[in-house]
Structures are given as structure tokens and as C-alpha cells.
């Protein structure tokens, strides 16, 4: 069982959360010319690193806020979590 | 190579089984090979076998970081089926079914292919309609599909819960009678033994650490046992695909996730086919040893851990109990995990890459075992001829950018809910 620290509610059990995937993927800017390659990279291409991964989680059975977490994909250790508008380095 | 038969068994029993030949050798790598296959799992071993058998290319090395068959080919729930809706997937896997049917004889190794049938249960009228459509698509591709009503399902699996007042009553199901199971590690060993006999070098405990590329062409690989040259390299590493892609500076439409499976204590024969629950993600069959073999959802977040967490097991088995309440009285014997190369549309990729001489076989999600023979067969063709076969022409790497997706489940790019 993962214990995830919601930036709003504190540490809760994994069962309260839904996963949202890679948080480093950036949607191309709205109302700008987007090449097929840029769109392709945004929709489909993933690095899926072995080690530190910055990802989105949704506290769906709690405060319902989306936030970011940095987690190790081998040990599942969660290093830090941050609000959606905050950077994780 | 010593042929396995009842006579060789008797002969060797007389000398206390001390004089059997080794099933495959343990060679030191040569300086150069015609083809290098990275990954000694089922697909890599099958590729090497078909390169030697179908294309007479025997100067081949399989490079495996751990030991052959130590990854997903020995971790899956052994289900073999071709019940796909899309033409590309259906044709590909039905070709594979024909390879499965003769595999034990061909490899002189009992892979225990057992076409005991698979039933996908339906729990609503809408699901029955969807299964009718899928069944019709399968039949148009020459695959046996039978749409069963509730009573017909009850005749086949009376031990399932057919009460009226359950949350997900059984409305019927779609059956592929020719689907089944096989002995998964036997498949790896069978391919390894025959490939070795034809001259393929199986190099274990050798990790690929980098690639040598000159002017857009592959010239070799760097490994923990030194550099090995080759003008053709095939990557066949399932859950480790993204790790090698990073060394090549490639982005792929793949994420790596962990999938768990589990078996119960062995019991007397109770379930003779494969059954899947249609309102959740759960599948079950009974092994020849009597264990109930079960699996379901991914753990739900990117993982390279090769082990999972208990909440997922609990969630999957909750689905299992909804179909088969008797499971609650069984003890769990083992749970384990394997890492899956989840593609963005749920279908595999067998293709050339932008680097000349580098070939890619990945994206099997959690359905790679059933395709082991046909994956090896088509990948061997792609490598030997330097062009894709008709069977894997749609399993292309660029289908994501061109929009020709094979999204069998229609769930989009959320690989973790696959």
C-alpha cells in the first residue's frame, strides 16, 4: 500500500487516489500552429524512466485536487509531492 | 541434439539420468554475428529459432541480461487466444494459433498446449451486443467464436454464481473454443533448445549497455561481456524497452507498468477452461497441478518493480469472488509481478526503426505470451528480409502519428487502466 501525501490533506492511503500519468508531458500551446510531430509527442510519446518519475495524482476520494508527485518507479518511494502549479525538480 | 522420446527417457533412466545432453550451451560471445537479438524471453528465443529455421540465418546471438525465460514468459497466466476484433490483430494471432497447434511436435518439447476454450462473460445487454459484434468479426477472419446465452454458460461453468440478485448477473458470454493454455516455461526452453541446436549462441548474464551507430546504421552493441559487432540488431525486451530506448535517445509510445498474477493452493479439477469476468478485470484458469491461476488489473502507476502491492490483488480477487464465490475458501499460494511494455493503443509493435539495421518488437502489454510463436515468426521475417511481413504490416511504429491505431479496447492512451 502506498502512502501518498496530498499537498492539501496530508498523508493518506493509496486507495483514496487515482493515477494521472506522466506530469512532464506538456500540451502544445493553444491557438498556435502545432506540427504533427509535436502533437504526436504530446499524445503518445513517453520516456517512462526507471527511477525518478514526476507524475500526476488525483485525490479523488478526498479533496478532489490534482497534484504532482515525484516517485521512484523501482522502489515506489515517494520523494515529494507538490501542488499542480508548483515545480518539482 | 538428443531427441526427446519415450525411448530416450527409458535409456537415460537406466543410467540414472546422468547422461542427458545439455539442452543448450553456454558459449562465450563471438566478435561478430549476422544478427543479435537482445532479450532471451519467449519472443527473443522464438525469433532466433525462426531466423534459423525459416531464413537459414544461424550466425545469431541472443543476449540476455538475466537468464532465459526469467521474465514475462515465466510470469504470465499462460492464456492463448485469438479473440480479437480488428483484422490486423485477428489475422496475426490466428496465424499464431496454427503455430501453437504443432509446437510440441516441431520443438520436440512438450509445451502442453491445451485448447480448453475461453469464455468472456457478459453482464449486460450492451455487453452481449458488443460480444456479438466481436464474435462476428472473429468469424469473418476464420476464428471460431460462439455467442453463449446464460443457460449455455451455466452448462459449461455451473460453479459460477448464477443467482439473480447479484450486482453483475451473468447474461451470457463469448467463447473461443480453440483458445487455451500452455506450459509457459516449456515454450522458452523448447525454443532455446532448438535454436541452440541450429547454431544460435544463447548468451546469458550479459547486459546490453549501449549501441554503436555510425551514419544512421547500427554496427554493434556494447555489453557487460564486451563489444559485439552486428549489422542487424533486434530489440525484444518487453518491460525494459524504454530503458534501451533511452540509450538510443528514442521516445516510444510505451509506458512500463507492473502486472500481478497469483495462484491458489492446488485443488482437484474444478474448472476446465479459461474464464474472464466482464464487469471488472479478472481472469482464471486451473493449472494441471490444480492451482487456480488468476490475474487482472495493472497496479496502476508506472513501475519497473517486478513485484506489486496488495491493494491490487485484493481488488482483482474481489472481481473473482463475484463470479466464483468458492474462491473465498481457497488459500493463496503465491503472488508475483512482471513488468509490461504498455503501448498507447494496447496493440504490439513489430517494425523497423529510423536506424538502419535496428528492429523493434515491443508493446505487448499484458498479452505477449499467446503471441510468442507468431511474434518470433514475423520478427524473424522482418529482420531477415529487412521488411515487414504482411502479418505485422499494421503493427507499425508510425501508426500513432498517422492515426491508424489498433485500439482494441477503445480506452485511449491511459495505459495504466488498460
- CA angle, B86 as apex, B340 and B355 as ends, to 5°? 55
How far apart are the C-alpha atoms of B53 and B376, rounded to whole Å?
Answer: 11
- Taking contacts as CB-CB distances below 8 angstroms, the residues of chain A near B65 are none
Alpha-carbon distance A30 to nearest alpha carbon in chain B (angstroms): 20
How far apart are the C-alpha atoms of B126 and B369, rounded to whole Å?
Answer: 30
Cβ proximity of B90 and B390 under 8 Å: no
Q: Is A43 helix (H, G, I), strand (E, B) or coil?
A: helix
pLDDT at B294 over 90: yes
Transcribe B228-246 into DSSP letters: EE-S-EEE--GGGHHHHHH
**Each residue's pLDDT tens digit, A23-67:** 999 999 999 999 989 999 999 999 999 999 999 999 999 999 999
How far apart are the C-alpha atoms of B180 and A40, rounded to whole Å?
Answer: 37
- Residue B8 has a CB neighbour count (10 Å cut-off) of 13
Q: Extract the C-alpha cell encoding B377.
A: 515468426
| B303/A46 Cβ within 8 A | no
**Each residue's pLDDT tens digit, B198-230:** 999 999 999 999 999 999 999 999 999 999 999
Q: Is B68 helix (H, G, I), strand (E, B) or coil?
A: coil
Q: Residue ranges of the domains in chain B?
A: 25-109+183-253+345-412, 118-180+256-343
Alpha-carbon distance B22 to nearest alpha carbon in chain A (angstroms): 35
| A47/B251 Cβ within 8 A | yes
Cα–Cα distances in Å, from B358 out to B218, B352, B354?
A: 6, 6, 8
- Taking contacts as CB-CB distances below 8 angstroms, the residues of chain B near A50 are 242-243, 256, 304
- Sign, CA dihedral B155-B161-B166-B171, equals negative
Please return the burial class of B161, using the count of CB atoms within 10 Å of its CB with bins 0-12, 13-18 and 19+.
Answer: middle
What confidence score (pLDDT) does residue B327 get? Answer: 96
- For chain A, the residues whose C-beta falls within 8 A of a C-beta of chain B are 1-2, 14-15, 19, 21-22, 36-37, 40-41, 43-50, 53, 55, 71, 73-76
**Each residue's pLDDT tens digit, B139-157:** 999 999 999 999 999 999 9
| B300/A73 Cβ within 8 A | no
Long-range own/partner contacts, residues B130-133 (CB < 8 A, 24 or more apart): B131/B172, B131/B173, B131/B174, B132/B174, B133/B85
Cβ proximity of A76 and A19 under 8 Å: no
pLDDT at B10 over 90: yes
Q: Which of A47, A46, A86, A49 is nearest to A65 (CA)?
A: A86
Q: Which residue has the cell 532479450?
A: B39
Contacts of B151 (CB under 8 A, 6+ apart): none
Cβ proximity of B104 and B113 under 8 Å: yes
Q: Which residue has the cell 537479438?
A: B37
Alpha-carbon distance B97 to nearest alpha carbon in chain A (angstroms): 30
Tell me yes or no: is domain B118-180+256-343 CATH 3.30.9.10: yes
Confidence of residue B417 (pLDDT cuts 50, 70, 90): confident
Indicate the pairing of strand B254-264 with strand B217-223.
unpaired
How far apart are the C-alpha atoms of B341 and B320, rounded to whole Å?
Answer: 25
Q: Extract the C-alpha cell encoding A71.
A: 516517485
Q: Which residue of A lies nearest to B339 if distances are taken between CA atoms? A: A74
Number of H helices, E strands in chain A: 1, 6
Q: Is B151 helix (H, G, I), strand (E, B) or coil?
A: helix
This complex has an ipTM of 0.95
pLDDT at B418 over 70: no
What confidence score (pLDDT) does residue B409 get? Answer: 85
Alpha-carbon distance A59 to nearest alpha carbon in chain B (angstroms): 14
**Each residue's pLDDT tens digit, B41-89:** 999 999 999 999 999 999 999 999 999 999 999 999 999 999 999 999 9
Q: What is the DSSP letter of B281?
A: T
Q: Which residue of A lies nearest to B306 if distances are taken between CA atoms? A: A74
What confidence score (pLDDT) does residue B140 get? Answer: 97
The CATH superfamily holding the domain B25-109+183-253+345-412 is FAD/NAD(P)-binding domain (3.50.50.60)
The kind and range of the H/E element at B299 are strand B292-302
**Each residue's pLDDT tens digit, B79-138:** 999 999 999 999 999 999 999 999 999 999 999 999 999 999 999 999 999 999 999 999
**Portion of chain B with pLDDT greater than 90, in percent:** 96
Cβ proximity of B59 and B33 under 8 Å: yes
Q: Residue ranges of the domains in chain A?
A: 3-26+33-83
How far apart are the C-alpha atoms of B349 and B253, rounded to whole Å?
Answer: 10
Average pLDDT over all residues of chain B: 96
**Each residue's pLDDT tens digit, B373-393:** 999 999 999 999 999 999 999
Q: Which of B364, B395, B365, B354 is nearest to B378 (CA)?
A: B395
Tell me yes or no: is domain A3-26+33-83 CATH 3.30.2270.10: yes
pLDDT at A14 over 80: yes
Q: Is B101 helix (H, G, I), strand (E, B) or coil?
A: helix
Amino acid at each position: 500500500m502506498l502512502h501518498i501525501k496530498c499537498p492539501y490533506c496530508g498523508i493518506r492511503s493509496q486507495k483514496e487516489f487515482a493515477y494521472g500519468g506522466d506530469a512532464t508531458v506538456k500540451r502544445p500551446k493553444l491557438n498556435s500552429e502545432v506540427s504533427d510531430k509535436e502533437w504526436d509527442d504530446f499524445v503518445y510519446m513517453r520516456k517512462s524512466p526507471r527511477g525518478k518519475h514526476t507524475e500526476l495524482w488525483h485525490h479523488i476520494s478526498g479533496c478532489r485536487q490534482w497534484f504532482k508527485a515525484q516517485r521512484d518507479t523501482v522502489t515506489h518511494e515517494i520523494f515529494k509531492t507538490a501542488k499542480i502549479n508548483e515545480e518539482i525538480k | 541434439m538428443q531427441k526427446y522420446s519415450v525411448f530416450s527417457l527409458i535409456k537415460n533412466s537406466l543410467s540414472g539420468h546422468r547422461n542427458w545432453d545439455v539442452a543448450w550451451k553456454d558459449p562465450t560471445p563471438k566478435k561478430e554475428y549476422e544478427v543479435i537479438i537482445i532479450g532471451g524471453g519467449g519472443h527473443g528465443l522464438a525469433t532466433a529459432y525462426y531466423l534459423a529455421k525459416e531464413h537459414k540465418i544461424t550466425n545469431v546471438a541472443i543476449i540476455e541480461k538475466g537468464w532465459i525465460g526469467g521474465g514475462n514468459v515465466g510470469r504470465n497466466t499462460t492464456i492463448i487466444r485469438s479473440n480479437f476484433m480488428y483484422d490486423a490483430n485477428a489475422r496475426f494471432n490466428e496465424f499464431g494459433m496454427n503455430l501453437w497447434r504443432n509446437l510440441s511436435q516441431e520443438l520436440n518439447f512438450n509445451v502442453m498446449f491445451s485448447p480448453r476454450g475461453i469464455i468472456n462473460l457478459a453482464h449486460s445487454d450492451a455487453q452481449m451486443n458488443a460480444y456479438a459484434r466481436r464474435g462476428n468479426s472473429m468469424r469473418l477472419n476464420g476464428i471460431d467464436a460462439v455467442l453463449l446465452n446464460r443457460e449455455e454458460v451455466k452448462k459449461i461453468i455451473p460453479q459460477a454464481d448464477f443467482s439473480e440478485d447479484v450486482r453483475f448477473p451473468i447474461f451470457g458470454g463469448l467463447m473461443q473454443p480453440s483458445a487455451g493454455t500452455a506450459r509457459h516455461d516449456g515454450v522458452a526452453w523448447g525454443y532455446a533448445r532448438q535454436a541452440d541446436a541450429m547454431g544460435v549462441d544463447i548468451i546469458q548474464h550479459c547486459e546490453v549497455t549501449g549501441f554503436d551507430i555510425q551514419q544512421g546504421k547500427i554496427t554493434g552493441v556494447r555489453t557487460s561481456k564486451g563489444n559485439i559487432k552486428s549489422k542487424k540488431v533486434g530489440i525484444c525486451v518487453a518491460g525494459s524497452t524504454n530503458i534501451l530506448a533511452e540509450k538510443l535517445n528514442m521516445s516510444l509510445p510505451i509506458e512500463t507498468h507492473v502486472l500481478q498474477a497469483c495462484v491458489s493452493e492446488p485443488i482437484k479439477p474444478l474448472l476446465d477452461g479459461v474464464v474472464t469476468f466482464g464487469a471488472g478485470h479478472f481472469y482464471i484458469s486451473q493449472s494441471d497441478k490444480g492451482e487456480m491461476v488468476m490475474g487482472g488489473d495493472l497496479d496502476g502507476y508506472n513501475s519497473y518493480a517486478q513485484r506489486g502491492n496488495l491493494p491490487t490483488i485484493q481488488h482483482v480477487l474481489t472481481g473473482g469472488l463475484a463470479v466464483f464465490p468458492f474462491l473465498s475458501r481457497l488459500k493463496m499460494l503465491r503472488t508475483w509481478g512482471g513488468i509490461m511494455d504498455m503501448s498507447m493503443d494496447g496493440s504490439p509493435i513489430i517494425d523497423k526503426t529510423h536506424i538502419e539495421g535496428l528492429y523493434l518488437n515491443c508493446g505487448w502489454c499484458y498479452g505477449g505470451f499467446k503471441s510468442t510463436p507468431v511474434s518470433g515468426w514475423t520478427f524473424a521475417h522482418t529482420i531477415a528480409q529487412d521488411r515487414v511481413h504482411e502479418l505485422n504490416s499494421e503493427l507499425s511504429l508510425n501508426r500513432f502519428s498517422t492515426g491508424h491505431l489498433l485500439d482494441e479496447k477503445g480506452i485511449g492512451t491511459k495505459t495504466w487502466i488498460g
